[in-house]
């Protein structure tokens, strides 16, 4: 008797896969996401009626109408220009301080070569993570107590948060630097400080500069709003005039912020196109 | 060549690059001076007796962190509210971003299949893009300030602020992702008479689904961070609690809230990293 062939003559009849399968990870993720979204809307006491009703729409229209005409008197414009300059200066100085602190923190936070014990690596990285985890605005609110109201606190806040970010990025690029030149110098008995200055740093310097410029771009945007807690720049003007319901002046400041952000975006886009061509 | 041999053995008497060094030092001072003046950069103010006293008292208050059960429950519930504000805001942002992406994607243009895009569709796409840029350029904190005026204090303002800013961001980046991929499949579908929505669902979306999801999850993580900040202008959540504790100089509560916040961010970070690796 011939044994039946293991291969069926026709394609075996298969049911389509079931829609839900206990081992389907995507299904579980989708279910969890849906549950999270539903729970979020459920637990937040959102006042939908406040902005979808006709009265609310009318009040919102009136609110937007108050923005017009924006205040364009020369003395106020001069004030806004000063605020913009203050914002730019805060971001530039904050980023510069952060770049310096970032390099100083990145050196203990990185393992320079295979034989490096790097005992400080873990604690320094923890410190960097802590600096980075707290947002600029929270740092600004904390530093206001020591530095007083004004742009100085904002500059320090930007510097503290950004040194966490840059320190981490710098440490990564120091660890990823090509080891050859450093190893050659060490083999000649050159001390670690000079190995760092003459072999490792020159190799990664372009990368460090491009990270710093990228963070500067971010910090200009951040500096524009830091003032809302009282730390100087355009944000402080905005919070002040909005608090007093000077809607025309608020509109001018908002326009200045938009122009600043758009200019930074355009500049960085242009610079990237020119340099990567 | 005896002269050359001697000169290689002797170090130069003075730094050969001194002129450049002095020039760059002067240039740095000239550039930094106005910056320092504009930011009222006076570090010594940090160390005068009065501000040291204030800061010292505040810092001494940090320890021990507030750990009464009531406060821990309050902090946990505010942490959940922060996460809920971010999630709800991002959901609304998707409602804004997905239609805007469908309207503004160049790949889904039928008239662009044969030469240039027609003028009408071009301007529709361009104006949607500009609207997204404006939504994105206003920082979420400013949106929150505006909405706190309109709908009052509470999470509604935070949700709306995140919805508008992130709607703009997501719409713009979704468009870039869809246009950077291979357009071949979509184009073939459109040429053979499928509708734009069909071409999107069967051509563009499957190709880019992983990237789109991973960017959305990354933005969710960012939204959690920024919803804490939004609390400072009265939009609910951990930020509002932190603002209150800071105004009352209650250092212990500030430390506890900061720890809860760092834990929340780390948790979101882990979740989003796990999700993104499982998406591949």
Cα end-to-end span (Å), chain A:
75
Report the C-alpha gap between B239 and B78 in whole angstroms. Answer: 9
Q: Which residues in A lie closer than 8 A to residue B222 (C-beta atoms)?
A: none
User: CATH topology for A75-176+205-276?
Assistant: MetI-like fold (1.10.3720)
How many CA within 13 A on the CB side of residue B49? Answer: 0
From chain A residues 1-60, the ones with a CB under 8 A of any chain B CB are: 25, 29, 36-37, 39-41, 43-47, 50-51, 56, 59-60
**CB-based contact, A257 to chain B, within 8 Å:** yes
Residue B134 pLDDT: 85
Residue B278 is nearest to which of A25, A47, A138, comparing CB atoms?
A25
Say if residue B6's pLDDT is above 60. no
**In the numeric block, which tokens belong to residue A99?**
């770049």
CA A226 to chain B, closest CA, distance in angstroms equals 9
- Residue B239, in any domain of the structure: yes
Average pLDDT over residues B78-106: 92
Contact A90 B39 (CB under 8 A): yes
Output b/e per residue, A144-178; b: 16+ Cβ within 10 A: bbbbbebbbbbbbbbbbbbbbbbbbbbbebbbebe
Angle between helices B155-180 and B69-104 (to 10 degrees): 40
Give the C-alpha distances (Å, rounded to integers) separating A138 from A22, B23, B37. 43, 39, 24
Contact A46 B42 (CB under 8 A): no
Q: Which domain holds residue B165?
A: 69-279
Phi, psi of A117 (to 5 degrees): -70, -35
Successive 10-residue mean pLDDT values, chain A, 277 residues:
59 74 77 90 79 74 80 86 91 93 93 82 90 88 82 91 94 91 92 90 91 90 86 86 84 88 84 78
Residue B105: left if φ>0, alpha if ψ -120 to 50, beta else—which one? beta
Contact B84 A221 (CB under 8 A): no
Contact A151 B39 (CB under 8 A): yes
Contact B156 A146 (CB under 8 A): no
Report the C-alpha gap between B174 and B168 in whole angstroms. Answer: 10
Contact B39 A154 (CB under 8 A): yes
- Residue B63, in any domain of the structure: no
ipTM score of complex: 0.78
CA B191 to chain A, closest CA, distance in angstroms equals 31
Report the C-alpha gap between A65 and A223 in whole angstroms. Answer: 28
Question: How many residues appear in chain B?
Answer: 280
Burial class from Cβ neighbours inside 10 Å (0-12, 13-18, 19+) for residue A34 reads: exposed
Residue A238 is nearest to which of B51, B142, B159, comparing CB atoms?
B142
Helix (H, G, I), strand (E, B) or coil at A257: helix
CATH of the domain at B240: 1.10.3720.10
Q: Which residues in B lie closer than 8 A to residue A86 (C-beta atoms)?
A: 38-39
pLDDT digits (tens, 9 = 90+) for B196-219: 899 999 988 888 888 898 899 889
pLDDT digits (tens, 9 = 90+) for B106-163: 888 888 888 788 888 889 999 998 899 888 888 888 888 888 887 878 888 899 999 9
Helix (H, G, I), strand (E, B) or coil at A4: coil
Write down the pTM of the prediction.
Answer: 0.81
Say if residue B88's pLDDT is above 90. yes
Residues 6+ apart with CB under 8 A from A97: A155, A159, A163
Residue B1 pLDDT: 44
- Residue B203, in any domain of the structure: yes
Phi, psi of B36 (to 5 degrees): -65, -35
Count structural domains, chain B.
1
Q: Which residues in A lie closer than 8 A to residue B246 (C-beta atoms)?
A: 141-142
CA A131 to chain B, closest CA, distance in angstroms equals 10
| Chain B residue with Cα closest to A254 | B138
Q: Which of A232-241, B72-81, B90-99 has the lowest mean pLDDT?
A: A232-241
> Domain residues of chain A, as ranges?
75-176+205-276
Report the C-alpha gap between B212 and B139 in whole angstroms. Answer: 23
Residue A89 is nearest to which of B39, B142, B159, comparing CB atoms?
B39
Q: What is the DSSP string of B52-113?
A: HHHHHHHHHTTSSPP--HHHHHHHHHHHHHHHHHHHHHHHHHHHHHHHHHHHH-GGG-SGGG
Say if residue B179's pLDDT is above 90. no
Q: What is the DSSP string of A140-202?
A: HHHHHHHH-SSHHHHHHHHHHHHHHHHHHHHHHHHHTS-SHHHHHHHHTT--HHHHIIIIIHH
Residue A95 pLDDT: 94
Contact A51 B137 (CB under 8 A): no
Angle between helices B49-60 and A136-147 (to 10 degrees): 130
């Amino acid at each position: 008797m011939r044994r039946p062939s293991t291969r069926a003559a026709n394609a075996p009849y298969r049911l389509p896969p079931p829609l839900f399968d206990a081992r389907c990870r995507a299904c579980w993720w989708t279910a969890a996401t849906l549950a999270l979204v539903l729970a979020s809307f459920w637990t937040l006491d959102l006042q939908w009626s406040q902005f979808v009703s006709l009265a609310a729409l009318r009040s919102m229209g009136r609110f937007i109408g108050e923005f017009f005409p924006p205040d364009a008197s020369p003395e106020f414009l001069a004030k806004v220009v000063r605020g913009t300059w203050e914002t730019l200066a805060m971001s530039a100085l904050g980023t510069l301080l952060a770049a310096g602190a970032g390099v100083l923190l990145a050196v203990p936070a990185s393992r320079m070569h295979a034989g490096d014990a790097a005992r400080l690596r873990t604690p320094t990285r923890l410190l960097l993570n802590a600096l980075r985890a707290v947002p600029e605005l929270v740092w600004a609110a904390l530093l206001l107590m020591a530095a007083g109201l004004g742009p100085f606190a904002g500059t320090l806040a930007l510097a503290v948060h950004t040194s966490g970010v840059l320190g981490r990025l710098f440490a990564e690029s120091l660890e990823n630097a090509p080891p050859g030149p450093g190893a050659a110098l060490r083999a000649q008995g050159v001390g670690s400080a000079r190995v760092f200055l003459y072999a490792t740093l020159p190799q990664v310097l372009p990368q460090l500069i491009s990270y710093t410029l990228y963070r500067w771009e971010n910090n200009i945007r951040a500096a524009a709003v830091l003032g809302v807690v009282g730390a100087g720049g355009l944000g402080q003007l905005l919070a002040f005039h909005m608090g007093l319901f000077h809607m025309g002046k608020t509109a001018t400041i908002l326009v200045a912020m938009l122009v600043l952000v758009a200019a930074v975006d355009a500049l960085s886009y242009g610079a990237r196109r020119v340099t990567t061509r | 060549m005896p002269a050359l041999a001697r000169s290689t053995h002797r170090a130069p008497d003075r730094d050969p690059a001194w002129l450049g060094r002095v020039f760059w030092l002067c240039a740095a001072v000239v550039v930094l001076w106005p910056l320092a003046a504009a930011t009222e950069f006076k570090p010594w103010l940090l160390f005068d007796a009065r501000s040291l006293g204030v800061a010292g008292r505040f810092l001494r208050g940090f320890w021990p962190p507030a750990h009464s059960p009531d406060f821990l429950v309050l902090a946990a519930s505010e942490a959940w509210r922060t996460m809920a504000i971010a999630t709800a805001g991002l959901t609304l942002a998707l409602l804004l971003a997905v239609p805007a992406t469908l309207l503004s994607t160049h790949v889904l243009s039928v008239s662009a299949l044969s030469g240039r895009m027609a003028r009408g569709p071009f301007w529709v796409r361009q104006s949607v893009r500009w609207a997204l840029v404006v939504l994105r350029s206003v920082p979420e904190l400013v949106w929150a300030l505006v909405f706190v005026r309109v709908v009052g204090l509470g999470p509604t303002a935070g949700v709306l602020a995140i919805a508008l800013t992130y709607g703009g961001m997501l719409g713009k980046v979704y468009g870039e992702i869809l246009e950077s991929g291979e357009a071949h499949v979509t184009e073939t579908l459109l040429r053979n008479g499928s509708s734009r929505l069909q071409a999107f669902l069967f051509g563009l979306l499957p190709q880019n689904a992983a990237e789109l999801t991973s960017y959305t999850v990354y933005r969710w993580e960012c939204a959690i961070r920024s919803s804490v900040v939004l609390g400072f202008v009265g939009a609910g959540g951990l930020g509002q609690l932190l603002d209150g504790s800071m105004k009352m100089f209650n250092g212990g509560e500030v430390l506890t809230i900061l720890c809860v916040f760092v834990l929340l961010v780390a948790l979101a970070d882990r979740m989003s990293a796990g999700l993104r690796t499982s998406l591949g």
